[in-house]
């Protein structure tokens, strides 16, 4: 949105970005599954400076009752930012942006969840952004998908998300906050790595048709990297040293 004049060099002549990464290098990603005692499933993710907690409850009774479906379960999702998660205090009431993100995250997870296997019930996914950096919706999705798997919810595939974008006329993987503010385009993508389906795609900013295809391919490559971290987190939870 803002095209402000700053001193940040987004991409230097050696192809190194403002935070020292290469153009196809994601930020540091750490995921831990099963971090909450009371939730059916949970996950904590650190994705760059993002720190996000996801908790899954259910399948459980639907309230209000009229929302229930007789032939399939429903998925509900809330993406919520803590007032202290950003530079200037955020009003804790859900903003229009958060409501839209909750909706696109729900629709990105739905294709993977086998809703038909738990009719008349609901699975609630609660996502709390403790600290926000660029790309928080992708990081939130990554944590939510691991939390669903941790809860033992029947799933067709994992959902892995990562953004790509255009910075200094170059397509780069995993946009950080500065690149989001000063860059030319931001494209969050969620992908089911085994079924080969894109379940979330959004774009802010101008891309030529060639750049668009390159950006989609770059983001999907990023999703595949995230998928490995998600698998590792679940493996550690269920088969690691400290698992029961």
Binding site for another protein (CB under 8 A): 1-2, 4, 96-97, 99-100, 102-104, 107, 110-111, 187, 192, 196-209, 212-213, 216-217, 220
Q: Is 162 exposed, middle or buried (0-12, 13-18, 19+ CB in 10 A)?
A: buried
* Least distance between another protein and beta carbon 196 (Å): 6
Shortest separation between residue 177's beta carbon and another protein, angstroms = 14
For another protein, the closer CB: 41 or 111: 111
- Is 76:122 a contact under the CB 8 Å cutoff? yes
Pick between residue 72 and residue 232 the one whose CB is nearest to another protein: 72
Place of tokens 């490995």: 228
Q: Is the CB of 59 or the CB of 111 nearer to another protein? A: 111
Contact 187, 202 (CB under 8 A): yes
Q: Cα 10–16–21 angle (5° rounding)?
A: 95
Q: Are 23 and 173 in contact (CB under 8 A)?
A: yes
Question: Helix (H, G, I), strand (E, B), or coil: what is residue 93?
Answer: coil
Residue 94 neighbours by CB distance under 10 Å: 14
Minimum separation from the CB atom of position 157 to another protein (A):
10
Closest separation in Å from C-beta 204 to another protein: 5
For another protein, the closer CB: 70 or 242? 70
Shortest CB 224 distance to another protein, Å = 12
Q: Torsion angle, CA of 98/8/182/87, rounded to 10 degrees?
A: 20
Q: Closer CB to another protein, residue 40 or residue 102?
A: 102
């Amino acid at each position: 949105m803002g095209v402000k004049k700053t001193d940040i060099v987004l991409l230097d002549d050696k192809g190194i970005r403002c935070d020292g990464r290469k153009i196809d290098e994601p930020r540091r990603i750490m995921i831990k599954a099963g971090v909450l005692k009371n939730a059916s499933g949970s996950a904590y993710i650190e994705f760059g400076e993002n720190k996000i907690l996801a908790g899954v409850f259910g399948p459980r009774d639907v309230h209000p009752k009229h929302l229930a479906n007789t032939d399939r379960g429903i998925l509900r999702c809330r993406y919520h930012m803590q007032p202290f998660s950003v530079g200037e205090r955020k009003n804790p009431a859900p903003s229009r942006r958060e409501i839209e993100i909750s909706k696109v995250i729900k629709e990105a997870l739905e294709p993977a969840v086998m809703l038909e296997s738990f009719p008349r019930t609901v699975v609630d996914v609660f996502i709390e952004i403790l600290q926000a950096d660029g790309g928080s919706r992708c990081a939130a999705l990554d944590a939510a998908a691991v939390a669903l798997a941790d809860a033992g919810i029947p799933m067709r595939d994992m959902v892995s998300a990562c953004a790509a974008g255009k910075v200094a006329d170059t397509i780069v993987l995993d946009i950080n906050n500065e690149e989001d503010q000063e860059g030319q385009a931001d494209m969050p993508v969620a992908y089911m790595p085994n079924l080969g389906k894109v379940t979330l795609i959004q774009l802010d900013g101008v891309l030529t048709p060639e750049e668009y295809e390159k950006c989609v391919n770059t983001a999907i490559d990023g999703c595949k990297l995230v998928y490995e971290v998600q698998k590792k987190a679940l493996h550690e939870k269920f088969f690691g040293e400290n698992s029961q």
